[in-house]
């Protein structure tokens, strides 16, 4: 399948929470678990107050830090989305630490984040959140089409929101969710340039080095054992103990 | 009946042996459940979170064994720490001869006390990595969810490196145990006097040559079973 993406148009979001509930019910999430959260952001000084509803949910980074850090490969990329194999998840929580958007949670010992409705999309339907959105703020489709739609919408919004912009085209290698913002990302609580965590030294250096050291010492001691054992038995038989002292000969007494 | 007398020397007291095996068992559970997060072929152990639970249960045992050691045999713990960080000129001489010792020779080495220079370094590194692996492990455990990328990376690097040091030390530890037949020291508590003389002559000399430090065990020699009884006379005649 082509690279898919979600369109999240904050200019249209009503903050109605319908997507939160549809997702929770449709994906049969646990009590206390939710894959979408709507954050209300207010800025400016009275009476010049401005506001927006910003969905806080997995943005499906192309260069996903959570996928890079996941030790059991429970998190993986497919068709532009970051999917979850919940059976493989060990609940280590590394993804919670490294996500630049602070999205994943650990619920009941397992990762909890949007695992996409890829099953619905494959069968020609739309994700639960898209199906239920009454404001037309959500769409799901091929990334190029979603980007084109986002550009058209932003162009139309410029009159009303001079700061209207697309978010997610380039961040983290390109997000699998294209957001339409009515204000600069920092104002809406999104990092303008989210940074990938420095995992190279650890995952690419320390861990292979540690495993290598283990394998090498197993191999070395395995080979050396046969040499050392033979030489030790030899030395014991000739009675040449430590410092040349002669060990007592083994006596076999006839009883 | 044929028999032989072997002299055995008390190497480790019962409390020391219990602490050793508790610590060893916890270590291996920690090692395997921890490697599940580093070595992909082992990651099935981690699925579902069973290894996470085991890792923490074993961590508690691992963290508490030094405390237990202090409670049941404080002198043993004190000797261990003191000896591990005290090095003499002879120790450096011994270390020069380490390559040949690694390959099964002891005759060229200067006489050693209760623990040799190699064991001292082994113990010292074990103590140091015990501190670093426990500290970073507690950070990862108690700070879970609020470490941030830098905290996670720093703590796991310390944790992984300490693990590598401990695992390599353990491989060496097992290697020398079986090259030099040292296993009985930690099972029965006794080593043969021959072993003590070859490996730790100064320590042997410092022990009172009486029970429970030195005991004599008379064992039957199973040589009669090696040849059929009926042939014994013929062979003797031939």
pLDDT by residue (tens digit) across A148-161? 999 999 999 999 99
Binning pLDDT at 50, 70 and 90, where does residue A6 land? very high
In terms of DSSP bridges, do strands A110-112 and A81-84 run parallel, antiparallel, or are they unpaired? unpaired
Q: Which of residues 8-37 of B touch A (CB under 8 A)?
A: 36-37
pLDDT mean over B155-175: 96
Pairing mode, if any, of strands A165-167 and A177-181? antiparallel
Pick from A166, A174, A66: nearest CA to A114:
A66
pLDDT at res. A171 = 92
Determine the distance from the C-alpha atom of residue B66 to the mean position of all C-alpha atoms in its chain, rounded to a whole number. Answer: 15
**Cα-flanking dihedrals φ and ψ of residue A183, to 5°?**
-150, 165
Q: Which of residues 77-96 of A touch B (CB under 8 A)?
A: 87-94, 96
More confident residue, A242 or B100: B100
Opening angle at CA A38, ends A32 and A41, nearest 5 = 135
Interface of B with A in 130-189 (CB under 8 A): 144-145, 147-153, 156-157, 160-161, 163-164, 167-168, 171-172, 174-175, 178-180
Helix (H, G, I), strand (E, B) or coil at A177: strand
Which residues of A fall within a CB distance of 8 Å from B102?
224, 228
Whole-number percent of chain A with pLDDT over 70:
93
- Reply yes or no on whether the pLDDT at A251 is more than 50: no
User: d(Cα A63, Cα B98) in Å, to the nearest integer?
Assistant: 49
Asked if A97 lies within 8 A of B4 by C-beta distance, the reply is no
Q: Is the pLDDT of residue B113 over 60?
A: yes
**Contact at CB, A72 and B1, closer than 8 angstroms:** no
Whether the CB of A221 is below 8 Å from some CB of chain B: the reply is: yes
| H-helix or E-strand spanning residue A236 | helix A207-238
3-state secondary structure of A88: coil
DSSP-based three-state secondary structure for A187: coil
Tell me, yes or no, if B196 comes closer than 8 A to chain A by beta carbon: no
Q: Does the beta-carbon distance from B175 to A253 stay under 8 Å?
A: no
Alpha carbon distance A177, A130 (integer Å): 13
Residue B97: pLDDT over 60: yes
Structure tokens that stand for A184 in this block: 């600069």
Which residue spans within chain A are E strands per DSSP? 4-9, 36-43, 50-57, 75-78, 81-84, 105-107, 110-112, 138-142, 165-167, 177-181, 253-254
Q: Which of B2, B28, B150, B160 to mutate to test the interface with A (most CBs of A within 10 A)?
A: B160
* Confidence label for B168 from pLDDT (cuts 50, 70 and 90): very high
> Rounded distance, CA B117 to CA B95, Å?
6
Which residues of chain B have a CB within 8 Å of the CB of A250?
Answer: 4
Please tell me the pTM assigned to this model.
0.84
DSSP A246: B
B226 touches A at CB < 8 Å: no
């Amino acid at each position: 399948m082509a690279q898919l993406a979600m369109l999240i148009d904050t200019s249209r979001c009503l903050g109605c929470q319908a997507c939160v509930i549809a997702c929770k019910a449709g994906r049969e999430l646990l009590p206390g678990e939710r894959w979408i959260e709507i954050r209300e952001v207010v800025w400016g000084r009275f009476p010049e107050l401005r506001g927006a509803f910003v969905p806080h949910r997995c943005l499906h980074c192309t260069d996903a830090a959570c996928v890079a850090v996941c030790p059991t490969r429970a998190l993986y990329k497919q068709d532009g989305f970051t999917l979850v194999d919940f059976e493989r998840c060990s609940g280590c929580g590394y993804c919670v630490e490294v996500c630049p958007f602070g999205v994943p949670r650990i619920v009941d010992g397992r990762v909890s984040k949007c695992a996409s409705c890829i099953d619905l999309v494959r069968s020609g339907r739309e994700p639960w959140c898209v199906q239920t959105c009454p404001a037309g703020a959500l769409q799901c489709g091929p990334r190029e089409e979603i980007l084109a739609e986002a550009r058209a919408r932003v162009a139309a919004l410029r009159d009303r929101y001079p700061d209207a912009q697309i978010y997610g085209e380039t961040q983290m290698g390109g997000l699998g969710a294209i957001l339409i913002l009515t204000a600069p990302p920092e104002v809406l609580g999104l990092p303008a340039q989210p940074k990938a965590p420095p995992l190279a030294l650890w995952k690419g250096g320390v861990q292979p080095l540690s495993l290598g050291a283990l394998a090498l010492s197993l191999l070395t001691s395995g080979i050396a054992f046969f040499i050392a054992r033979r030489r030790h038995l030899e030395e014991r038989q000739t009675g040449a103990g430590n410092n040349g002292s002669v060990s007592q000969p083994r006596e076999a007494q006839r009883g | 009946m044929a028999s032989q007398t072997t002299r055995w020397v008390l190497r480790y007291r019962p409390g020391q042996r219990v602490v050793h095996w508790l610590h060893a068992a916890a270590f291996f559970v920690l090692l395997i459940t921890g490697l599940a997060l580093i070595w992909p072929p082992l990651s099935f152990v981690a699925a579902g979170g069973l290894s996470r639970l085991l890792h923490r249960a074993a961590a508690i045992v691992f963290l508490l064994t030094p405390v237990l050691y202090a409670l049941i045999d404080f002198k043993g713990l004190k000797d261990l720490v003191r000896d591990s960080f005290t090095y003499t000129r002879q120790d450096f001489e011994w270390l020069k001869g380490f390559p040949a010792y690694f390959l099964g020779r002891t005759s060229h080495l200067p006489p050693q006390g209760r623990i040799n220079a190699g064991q001292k370094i082994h113990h010292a590194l074990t103590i140091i990595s015990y501190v670093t692996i426990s500290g970073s492990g507690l950070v990862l455990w108690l700070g879970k969810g609020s470490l941030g990328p830098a905290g996670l990376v720093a703590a796991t690097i310390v944790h992984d490196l300490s693990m590598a040091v401990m695992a390599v030390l353990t491989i060496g530890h097992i290697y020398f145990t079986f090259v030099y037949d040292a296993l009985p020291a930690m099972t029965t508590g006794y080593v043969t006097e021959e072993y003590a003389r070859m490996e730790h002559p100064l320590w042997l000399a410092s022990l009172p040559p009486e029970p429970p430090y030195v005991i004599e065990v008379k064992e039957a020699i199973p040589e009669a079973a090696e040849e059929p009884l009926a042939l014994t006379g013929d062979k003797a005649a031939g």
